[in-house]
Amino acid sequence: MHIDLQGNIGSAAAAEPSSRQLESAFVDIMSHATYQNKWVECMQELMEQVQIEYLPVDAKENGQHFEPGFQHFALLYIKYLQIYRKLEECHDQMVHPQKRGSIKKVLKSTIIRILELKEQLITFNLRPLNRFVALDEVLTDLKLNPETVEWKVPRYFLDGKECREEIEDKQHKIDHWLGVFGMSLVPDDLLDKKDPFEADERASS
């Protein structure tokens, strides 16, 4: 039995949070703290990446020779992918709307940088004229699993109403300008049906 300050009588269970409620609240707090720490960790790693990105510039300013090549861009690409996975998970699990917005901005920038680095890898590909980039040796040197470089579509691409509206708006704009310039509205088949090693055979012949 429980009597409150107004003299009302009620059960102790109604006056105090249940153990399940306390447990749920504790889990929510710990979960928030976990992803908050992971978010901070991602930002620190991104700052380190920026410093690595500027290595060629710093070397040139110091009169040193540093020519970025396949290995340099491969290391950047793999690290950005690792950061991307953490950011994507933080954005998906974070509840705070303002923090989700901040994470989403960084997440988008990271995705763009990953795509830019993929183009650099294709340019410096050890297999000329081939868009298939083999990172096996780099992953082995770093003692990482092949799953590290597997691309996963961000969940907000599919789950967010705002994202769907944004995609539809962009699609309308694309269709408009394709029509203005008299280009085909039929989407290209993105599946490459060619043998990925065909370019190697042509290059070696």
Q: What is the DSSP string of 55-71?
A: HHHHHHHTT------HH
Q: Is 8 left (phi over 0), alpha (psi -120 to 50) or beta?
A: beta
Least confident piece of the model among 28-32, 124-128, 140-144: 28-32
How sure is the predictor about 76, in pLDDT bands with cuts at 50, 70 and 90? very high
SS3 90: helix
What is the Cα–Cα distance from 90 to 104, expressed in whole angstroms? 9
How sure is the predictor about 192, in pLDDT bands with cuts at 50, 70 and 90? low
How many other CB atoms sit within 10 Å of the CB of residue 104?
Answer: 20
Is the CB of residue 65 less than 8 Å from the CB of residue 120?
A: no
Q: Return the beta strands (E) in the chain as ranges.
A: 2-3, 9-10
DSSP summary character for residue 9: E
What is the Cα–Cα distance from 83 to 86, expressed in whole angstroms? 5
| C-alpha torsion sign, points 121, 123, 127, 131 | positive
Model-level pTM? 0.67
How sure is the predictor about 13, in pLDDT bands with cuts at 50, 70 and 90? very low
How sure is the predictor about 83, in pLDDT bands with cuts at 50, 70 and 90? very high
Is the CB of residue 152 less than 8 Å from the CB of residue 87?
A: no
**Closest among 169, 70, 78 to 125, alpha carbons compared:** 70
The confidence score (pLDDT) of residue 110 equals 94
How sure is the predictor about 203, in pLDDT bands with cuts at 50, 70 and 90? low
How many other CB atoms sit within 10 Å of the CB of residue 73?
Answer: 20
